[in-house]
Structure 1
């Protein structure tokens, strides 16, 4: 009799535990749903047509026209489109991790003097200004407009805001060259041309210089004719390196022309430019000498 009573008690306890577990599980789901519902869209704009943000005290502004992004102060600068599209995507739709209820003063979140200020406008003409303050764990405090609401958002929002203008300029690239893929190099200087080919078996020396050639710092993003004269890159002064090579990826024969100008004031680099480009760079003098005197 006692065993039967003990079994009944155990069954009741077990049933109670099941009810308790079900209740806890339901509560957790409700809390999870509540937490998810706390997430809200800070903004949900249409396609952006302008963006500006401050970077180390300098404000950078960009405008999109006919599907292309431009630097507002100088539309001739070749802006990397993928970087601006990524930036636009970040601030077109901003989702909060949570909204702070009964928030303290803006200064408590670094929003009285924001680390970043970002202003955008979409294709409908709607404008919005975001203010980004202190970090909090993996998130940042953000407000916008009249600063009446404060949110936390993912730290991803700041990933592109440290970019300077130089980071956003799309610079030229120089092909990968070696004895294996060089076909012919013509070096024209002072009206005289020297030819290097595999048939002449004189490519080894010049391929050493071309194989390590790189563009250094960009000195001018859109050089005028007056600038070119200053750099020794005008038609009458420059040295022309006409290169025919086999592209290692496409296996197609291609051509690239490199211009070499004067040395810079430190005498450590040469001014160089690619044919068809408006950009002027510096390149190490020893590398250039290996091309000119292989």
Structure 2
């Protein structure tokens, strides 16, 4: 009897293990499908967001030779000379080329979240009759694009924008804020490590 009971207990133990493994397998499968569903949902949301964006202007940033903008009442003009960016406001200031390149790449695809009004007859309601900023960019083919920046719409967290070509008013997110920089923000930070090493050696 004892042997039979042991065999029965052994079978029950094995059965419990099999059931436990089966339950774990089912849980893993369910978890996998949940993760897949969430990921697909995120992908669809991103695709929908990209499809919803409206391209105002695209350009090859490698062809850009100059750009300008206004900040704190000063107009800054940047030009590319011998593959080096300088600011004509003060050519003695050495610019951080990476920081300037970051600004340049904002022109790659200037996209709006939506069209507010086509062929607007009253730009003043958007602050575009007297723009808060005028951002210009020119490529090596002498093609210049001018973006007029209007009022900020704090409700939707965006800015009104139009090109010089027409009076179609768009709503854009943070594109204008990238150009809220003066020369101190863009100048190259000098590395004092060399001078420190020299002083230490002396």
**TM tier relative to shorter chain:** 0.5 to 0.7
Stretches of structure 2 lacking an aligned partner (at least 5 in a row): 1-43
Cα shift readout 1:215-270 (whole Å, capped 9, x = no counterpart)? xxxxxxxxxxxxxxxxxxxxxxxxxx7223xxxxxxxxxxxx8xxxxxxxxxxxxx
**Aligned: 1:44 with 2:58:** yes
Q: Is the 8 A contact 2:127 2:151 kept in 1?
A: yes
Q: CA separation in 1, counterparts of 2:52 and 2:190? A: 47
State the match for 1:162 in structure 2. 180
Secondary structure (helix, strand or coil) at the match of 2:185 reads helix
Q: CA separation in 1, counterparts of 2:152 and 2:79? A: 29
Which residue of 74, 81, 84 maps to 2:100?
84
Name the structure with the higher helix share: 2
Which residue of 118, 123, 126 maps to 2:135?
118
Name the structure with the higher strand share: 1
State the match for 2:85 in structure 1. 69
State the match for 1:203 in structure 2. none
Stretches of structure 1 lacking an aligned partner (at least 5 in a row): 1-28, 177-181, 186-240, 245-256, 258-294
- Measure how far apart 1:175 and its partner are: 3.5
- Structure 1 runs of 4+ aligned residues shifted over 6 Å read none
Q: Is the 8 A contact 2:117 2:170 kept in 1?
A: no
Q: CA separation in 1, counterparts of 2:89 and 2:182? A: 14
- Measure how far apart 1:150 and its partner are: 0.8
Q: Is the 8 A contact 1:53 1:59 kept in 2?
A: yes
More contact order relative to length (CA 8 Å, sep ≥ 6): 2
Q: CA separation in 1, counterparts of 2:115 and 2:93? A: 39
Cα shift readout 1:3-28 (whole Å, capped 9, x = no counterpart)? xxxxxxxxxxxxxxxxxxxxxxxxxx
Secondary structure (helix, strand or coil) at the match of 2:117 reads coil
State the match for 1:97 in structure 2. 113
- Measure how far apart 1:40 and its partner are: 2.1
Which residue of 144, 149, 160 maps to 1:132?
149
Q: Is the 8 A contact 1:38 1:99 kept in 2?
A: no
Q: CA separation in 1, counterparts of 2:140 and 2:146? A: 15
Distance 1:98 1:57, change over 3 A: same
Which residue of 113, 123, 127 maps to 1:106?
123
Q: CA separation in 1, counterparts of 2:93 and 2:169? A: 36
- Measure how far apart 1:173 and its partner are: 3.0
- Measure how far apart 1:77 and its partner are: 1.7
- Measure how far apart 1:98 and its partner are: 1.0
Secondary structure (helix, strand or coil) at the match of 2:199 reads strand
Cα shift readout 1:3-60 (whole Å, capped 9, x = no counterpart)? xxxxxxxxxxxxxxxxxxxxxxxxxx9xx96x86553211111222101111111110
